[in-house]
Amino acid sequence: MQISLIEAILLGVMSVLAGSTPAALGTTVGNYTLNRPLIGGLFVGLILGDVPGAIQIAIPMQVLYIALVTPGGTVAADLRAVSYIGIPLAYVAVKGAGLDFGSEQAGGLAVSIAALVGTVGTVMFYGTAMMNLFWQHWGWAELEKNNFKVLPIVDAVLPLITHFVISFIPTVLMTYYGQSVVTDIQQALPMDGLIMKTMFTVGNILPAVGIAILLKSVVDKASDLIPYAFGFVISKSLGLTLVAASLVAAIFALFHYRMEMAKLSSGSGHSKYDEEDI
């Protein structure tokens, strides 16, 4: 059995709608609904005309990636490739081998194909995030001129170009030409090559720029860097989660508040500040 061009195109569209993190259909529907392999199984089944078969293929993949979290834009595996490249390819392979969709062999095959294409999704994710930089920087330039019309264009329209290049075309190619194309692409863009290494390194370093911009917005004078450095230490050296770190931060905020209130109250007679309403 072969995937037809039409089918491949439909799969490409789904992968665009369902990207991990920047999905064309947004977070709730795109990322956390269509992106999940179980749901992917349903849609692949509709496209290939065999819903029960595709869902059976999808189940072991879904189990594999069930508790996937992507904190701060670090994506261990982008499931769009698992759902809309992995499931179709596995479906074809299982059918080709004449296996039962619910059999253990089919499950094994599904999982190994999921692993094969898993990182392909990650490459798509980082590629998308990088290409979006262009739209954003054009956006900043326009915003400088108070041209607010660009907001929806930058945020919703232009990323579609990114998706077309980074997500749609590869998905169509890989599902249409089959598993061998996946490995071809992986050989053309090796992970230990300059391009991939640089792209992932940039992905690691760029948040530093964003956080520095944020830092600038809350830092007024050099001594404001002290609380910031303190926050860094409790997070990195002490390994506090963000919630625990914010509770530690809160006691300092409380002291600051009481100190400021004390400054005001002293001399004015009332020695007890009022925190009831906070």
Partner 1 sequence: MSSRVEKKVSKKALNASFWRWWYGNLTCFTHEHMQTFGYMWSLFQVIDDLYETTEEKGEKLRAYWPFFNTEPQIGCIVVGITAGLEEARANGDPNVDDEMINGIRAGLMGPLAGIGDSLIVGTYIPVLLAVALGLSEGGSVIGALFYIVVWNATSIYFQYTIFMRGYELGGTAVDIIVGDQATALRGAVVLLGQIIVGAINGAWVNITTPLEFKNAQGEVFLNLQGQLNGIMPGLLSIGFVLLCWWLMAKKNMKPLTVMLLMILIAFVGVLIGFFDPQLHY
Q: How many residues are recorded in the chain?
A: 278
Among residues 180 and 268, whose Cβ is nearest to its own copies? Answer: 268
73 binds ligand MAN (CB under 6 A): yes
Tell me which residues in 9-48 interact with ligand MAN (CB under 6 A). Answer: 21
Site string for its own copies, 219-238 (x = CB under 8 A): --xxxx-xx-xx-xxx--xx
Site string for its own copies, 74-103 (x = CB under 8 A): ------------------------------
Distance between CA atoms of residues 106 and 91, nearest Å: 9
Instruction: Return the one option of its own copies, ligand MAN, partner 1, none that residue 223 interacts with (CB less than 5 to 8 A, by type).
Output: its own copies
Q: How far is the CB of 175 from partner 1 (least distance, A)?
A: 18
Q: How far is the CB of 70 from its own copies (least distance, A)?
A: 23
- Helical spans, DSSP H, in 145-193: 150-152, 158-163, 169-177, 179-188
Among residues 98 and 239, whose Cβ is nearest to its own copies? Answer: 239
Q: How many Å separate Cα 130 from the centre of its chain?
A: 12
Is residue 90 within 8 Å of residue 113, measured between CB atoms? Answer: yes
**Which of 28, 67, 72, 220 is in the footprint of ligand MAN by CB under 6 A?**
72
Collapsing DSSP to helix, strand or coil, 59 comes out as helix
Is residue 38 within 8 Å of residue 62, measured between CB atoms? Answer: yes
Residue with tokens 């996937």: 68
Distance between CA atoms of residues 246 and 256, nearest Å: 15
235 binds ligand MAN (CB under 6 A): no
Q: How far is the CB of 93 from partner 1 (least distance, A)?
A: 17
Q: How far is the CB of 211 from its own copies (least distance, A)?
A: 17
Q: How far is the CB of 233 from its own copies (least distance, A)?
A: 5
243 binds ligand MAN (CB under 6 A): no
Q: How far is the CB of 90 from ligand MAN (least distance, A)?
A: 26
Q: Which stretch binds its own copies (CB under 8 A): 60-68, 166-174, 187-195, 266-274?
A: 266-274
In one letter, which amino acid is 97? A
- Start-to-end CA span in the chain (Å): 66
| Sequence-distant (≥ 6) Cβ neighbours of residue 156 within 8 angstroms | none
**What burial letters (b/e) apply to 104-130, b meaning 16+ CB within 10 Å?**
eebbebbbebbebbbbbbbbbbbbbbb
Residues at the contact surface with its own copies, assessed by CB under 8 A? 221-224, 226-227, 229-230, 232-234, 237-241, 244, 247-248, 250-252, 254-260, 262-267, 271, 275-276, 278
